[in-house]
């Protein structure tokens, strides 16, 4: 199978992020509807293969292109490597991401890749804006059979400077899971 997510231009990367995100959101909404309407459980093998996951954005720089002298605090590399993050609602962040990706793509010759991550989108984040009609009595079943917010796995180590790089560096301070939690809390606080 051809990998459609490697060596992308910034525009192609954003298109791919949106495509993967929408596929996951739609698959999750359809699975919830099937469960609510018919009691059909989501396929565990499909979930293991990334049916409901956030897309992942990776930007790699091998260091071969000289590091241009930049005084800006964004859109630059300090050392070669692979920088990765998960992305939520890429259409909402498109202009911002395009600006950032264009800088590293043109200044450094960075390689951009987009693929499915291993982090599932929690079901509460796809209910708003859908045609799903749910009530509180369904919460236990949904929580048992669909991805939920695992707060113990979500942290702000990167923003706190506690991230220890392994095979990749963080591309952003906040990944999709943390950004989704922050957005949901703000939305609830404004109600």
Cβ 156 vs Cβ 174: under 8 Å: yes
Task: Tell me if 17 sits within 8 A of 89, measured CB to CB.
Answer: no
2-30 pLDDT tens trace: 446 789 999 999 999 999 999 999 999 99
Look-up of token digits 């954005």? 57
More reliable by pLDDT, 32 or 64: 32
Cβ atoms 13, 57 nearer than 8 A:
yes
Task: Tell me how far apart the alpha carbons of residues 113 and 59 are, in angstroms, rounded to a whole number.
Answer: 6
Predicted TM-score (pTM) of this structure: 0.82
Q: Is the pLDDT of residue 152 over 70?
A: no
At 187 the three-state DSSP class reads: helix
Can you list the domains of the chain with their CATH numbers? 10-189 (3.30.1730.10)
Confidence of residue 71 (pLDDT cuts 50, 70, 90): confident
| Pairing of β 169-170 and β 111-120 | unpaired
| Pair 113, 7: CB distance under 8 Å | yes
How far is the C-alpha of 20 from the C-alpha of 134, rounded, in Å? Answer: 25
């Amino acid at each position: 199978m051809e990998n459609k997510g490697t060596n992308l231009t910034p525009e192609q990367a954003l298109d791919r992020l949106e495509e993967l995100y929408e596929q996951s959101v739609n698959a999750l909404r359809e699975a919830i509807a099937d469960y609510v309407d018919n009691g059909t459980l989501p396929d565990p093998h499909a979930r293991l293969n990334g049916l409901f996951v956030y897309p992942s954005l990776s930007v790699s720089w091998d260091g071969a292109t000289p590091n241009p002298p930049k005084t800006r605090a964004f859109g630059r590399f300090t050392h070669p490597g692979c920088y990765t993050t998960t992305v939520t609602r890429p259409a909402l962040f498109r202009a911002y991401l395009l600006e950032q990706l264009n800088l590293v793509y043109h200044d450094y010759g960075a390689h951009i890749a987009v693929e499915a991550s291993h982090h599932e989108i929690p079901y509460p984040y796809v209910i708003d804006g859908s045609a799903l009609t749910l009530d509180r009595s369904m919460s236990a079943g949904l929580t048992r059979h669909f991805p939920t917010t695992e707060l113990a796995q979500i942290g702000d180590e990167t923003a706190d400077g506690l991230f220890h790089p392994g095979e990749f560096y963080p591309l952003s301070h906040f990944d999709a899971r943390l950004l989704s939690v922050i957005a949901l809390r703000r939305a609830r606080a404004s109600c």
